């Protein structure tokens, strides 16, 4: 399934390509105003109209999953600007300038919304994990639940973690060699028509590992990174966080911090350590450290 972001990239590339061609035409018209070959009417104008139609088809195809700001932008384009592109009463150069100004403006606005969505999803995810880490520090009851999950194993941890992320609007899933995209809680292949998925702010690919000893850290992280790669062959709806993926390492005591891993200069794999028995440093210990620093 081609997601809406990949589909929009194709439309945006076509707009930018047409803009380059139109710029050459406009510059040439300053020297020779005679368009004897009919480049405007035979080439540029038909392409402009076709792109406008592609944009409306894009909205129709992905309307159920498009974020509201993008739907609003395309609807405004359809009602107010598309007629201006199809109007053939303009002079050639004026028509080219008008149409390209409309298309380039639309491309910039939608591309901005797509970029903003990705960054918002990243911030929500980071905040959700930060909240989880602090709950483990200050909430004894919550920490007890995680200690029990730790003893049960990775499946229990990923289920409990997925519920927490869902509270923040994040639907966490994992890649499975046989089942494909898998729900962390149900353990079943994801149904993309599920209202819970469609109502989420973002979908996040994650891999959860229980680390019993520091010596297992590198091995577990490498296993998780390999499992994340199972996702590389597909996309899910278009609302998943594509530029960040997460390896969550659950341990009893704090683990050494692993650096992020950049894959193909596109995806950043973040390593999150959830320590189920970490304690908040006491005020006395804090004062001692400050005194010794002096």
Question: Scanning the structure block, which residue is given the tokens 């005591």?
Answer: 253
CB 160 within 8 A of CB 146: yes
Give the Cα separation of 159 and 230 in Å (integer): 20
What pLDDT does residue 231 have?
67
Per-residue tokens: 45 = 């104008």
Helices (H), the chain: 4-31, 39, 45-62, 68-76, 82-86, 92-138, 140-152, 154-167, 195-198, 217-228, 283-293
Per-residue tokens: 52 = 């406008």
Consecutive 10-residue averages of pLDDT for the chain (294 residues): 76 92 79 61 84 91 80 87 71 80 91 80 93 94 96 95 95 77 85 78 91 91 89 55 91 93 86 87 45 42
Residue range 5-36, pLDDT digits in tens: 788 989 999 999 998 888 887 787 775 565 55
- 3-class secondary structure per residue, 225-255: HHHHHHHHHCCCCCCECCCEEEEEEEECCCC
43 vs 18, 19, 26, 85, CA distance in Å?
10, 12, 13, 14
What pLDDT does residue 188 have?
84
CB 244 within 8 A of CB 270: yes
Is residue 189 classed exposed, middle or buried when 0-12, 13-18 and 19+ CB atoms within 10 A define those classes? middle
Angle, vertex CA 168, rays to CA 178 and CA 160, nearest 5: 50
**Is the overall model pTM greater than 0.75, yes or no?**
no
Per-residue tokens: 37 = 């070959």
Delimit the domains of the chain by residue range: 4-114, 139-275
Per-residue tokens: 33 = 């105003």
What pLDDT does residue 246 have?
96
Give the Cα separation of 34 and 18 in Å (integer): 21
What pLDDT does residue 88 have?
66
What pLDDT does residue 124 have?
92
Residue range 260-275, pLDDT digits in tens: 998 887 789 999 999 9
Per-residue tokens: 48 = 């402009």
Per-residue tokens: 67 = 């974020």
């Amino acid at each position: 399934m081609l997601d809406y972001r990949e589909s929009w990239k194709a439309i945006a590339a076509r707009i930018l390509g047409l803009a380059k061609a139109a710029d050459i035409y406009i510059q040439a018209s300053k020297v020779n105003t005679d368009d004897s070959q009919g480049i405007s009417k035979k080439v540029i104008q038909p392409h402009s109209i076709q792109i406008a139609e592609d944009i409306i088809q894009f909205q129709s195809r992905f309307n159920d999953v498009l974020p509201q700001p993008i739907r609003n932008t395309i609807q405004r384009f359809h009602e107010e600007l598309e007629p201006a592109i199809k109007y053939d009463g303009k002079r050639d150069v004026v028509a080219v300038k008008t149409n390209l100004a409309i298309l380039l403006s639309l491309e910039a606005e939608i591309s901005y919304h797509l970029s903003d969505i990705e960054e918002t999803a990243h911030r929500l995810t980071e905040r959700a994990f930060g909240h989880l880490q602090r709950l483990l520090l200050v909430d004894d009851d919550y920490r007890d639940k995680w200690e029990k999950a730790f003893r049960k194993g990775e499946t229990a941890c990923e289920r409990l973690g997925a519920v927490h992320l869902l509270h923040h609007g994040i639907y966490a899933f994992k890649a499975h060699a046989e089942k494909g995209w898998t729900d962390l809680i149900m353990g079943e292949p994801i149904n993309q028509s599920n209202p819970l998925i469609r109502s989420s702010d973002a979908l996040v690919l994650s891999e959860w590992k229980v680390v019993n000893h520091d010596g297992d850290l590198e091995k577990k992280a490498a296993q998780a990174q390999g499992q994340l790669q199972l996702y590389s062959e597909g996309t899910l709806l278009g609302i998943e966080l594509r530029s960040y993926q997460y390896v969550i390492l659950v341990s009893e005591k704090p683990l050494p911090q692993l650096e992020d891993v950049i894959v193909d200069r596109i995806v950043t794999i973040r390593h999150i350590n959830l320590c189920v028995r970490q304690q908040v440093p006491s005020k006395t210990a804090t004062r001692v450290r400050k005194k010794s620093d002096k």
